[in-house]
A and B are shown apart, each in its own frame.
Chain A
Amino acid sequence: MKTAVVRFPGSNCDLDVFHVLKDVLKLEADLVWHRDFAGEEYDSVVLPGGFSYGDYLRAGTIAAHSPAMEQVRVMAKEGKPVIGICNGFQILIESGLLPGALLRNECLAFVCKWVKVRVETSDTVFTRAIQKGAVLDMPIAHAEGRYVNDPEGLKELDENGQVVFRYVNNQSVPSEDSNPNGSMDCVAGICNEDRNVVGLMPHPERASEPILSPFSNSDGLRILAALRG
């Protein structure tokens, strides 16, 4: 399994993801500039966090029209694992590979803190080794992470089991006080209908080594480990 970490102008979590793939998971991985990305050379792809194109117009919108996203679209169709983290999630949404929208946090602030997310389904390429209901500690760092969809879209996601992660409190229950950005239904991450494209706002790459976690765990690694294939 060879993984590409695609860098856009303004990506800034690319090196963190690359470090986890190379040094922690010991995977074959490349950092690839978005103009040079050839999807057929890779078995999976990570769209890292950051501020692609300065978040101009709307987070992820401009990167969504990069030629690299055409490649990602083909990979997604072929069933290859695709994961978008934070700005990568915003890019997946704006490219139409995932449904809905990510808007400005309800509290207006850039929120940077550790959160708990509950795994809502094991039926995705990235969560198949994690038990449904498991709660993971991961940090978030974003200003535009409020997941919004229309009532029909939200219902469809729920019925298809496409909500992959929800923000939860210490009792493992989604609640207003556990919701850091005003996301509808406390949605922190979703997948496509084919379950191989996953987007999430929390940063698994920043929670992949015990030394980086205030809880001394490596919960994020459980998600990225899926890239072992």
Chain B
Amino acid sequence: MPIFTVEVIIENKKMARDPEGETIARELVSRGGFSEVKSIRAGKYLRLHVQATDSEEAERIVNKMSNTLRLFNPVVHNCTIRVRGETE
């Protein structure tokens, strides 16, 4: 069975301030002269290798896992799942 690379990105919802992202934007990027960058949100990134019959199943497995194990706190986080294709 093929193995897929799946990315899980967890970030704060808009209502929950993200002091880490704000600080990177203000103290590093803006001061560093990149005024084109208007905002930054920091988050958590996980890269998984998932065995599945196809990419839909890989996404389904990771989606179920993220919800069952509360990889994110639904009150304050958005969770994005992206299948990047088969792992070489």
A→B interface (CB under 8 Å): 57-58, 61, 64-65, 93-94, 96, 99-101, 103-108, 148-151, 153, 182
> Does the CB pair B44–A57 fall under 8 Å?
yes
Closest Cβ of chain A to B1, distance in Å, is 27
Residues of A within 8 A of B19 (CB): 104-108, 182
B→A interface (CB under 8 Å): 12, 15-17, 19-20, 23, 44, 69-71, 73, 75-77
> Does the CB pair B76–A103 fall under 8 Å?
yes
23 contacts between A and B (CB under 8 A): A58-B73, A61-B70, A64-B70, A93-B73, A94-B73, A96-B70, A101-B16, A101-B73, A101-B77, A103-B12, A103-B16, A104-B19, A104-B20, A105-B19, A106-B17, A107-B19, A148-B15, A148-B16, A149-B75, A150-B75, A151-B15, A153-B75, A182-B17
> Does the CB pair A108–B23 fall under 8 Å?
yes
Query: What's the Cα separation between A209 and B33 when bound, in Å?
Result: 53
Main secondary structure of the interface of A (DSSP, over half): loop
> Does the CB pair A101–B75 fall under 8 Å?
yes
Main secondary structure of the interface of B (DSSP, over half): loop
Query: What's the Cα separation between A100 and B76 when bound, in Å?
Result: 8
Query: What's the Cα separation between A206 and B19 when bound, in Å?
Result: 29
Residues of A within 8 A of B12 (CB): 103
> Does the CB pair B75–A148 fall under 8 Å?
yes
User: Closest 5 CB pairs between A and B?
Assistant: A101-B76, A101-B73, A101-B75, A148-B16, A108-B19
Closest Cβ of chain B to A182, distance in Å, is 7
Closest Cβ of chain B to A97, distance in Å, is 12
Query: What's the Cα separation between A64 and B16 when bound, in Å?
Result: 22
Which one of B12, B20, B23, B70 has the greatest number of beta carbons of chain A within 10 Å? Answer: B70
> Does the CB pair A100–B23 fall under 8 Å?
no
> Does the CB pair B75–A99 fall under 8 Å?
yes
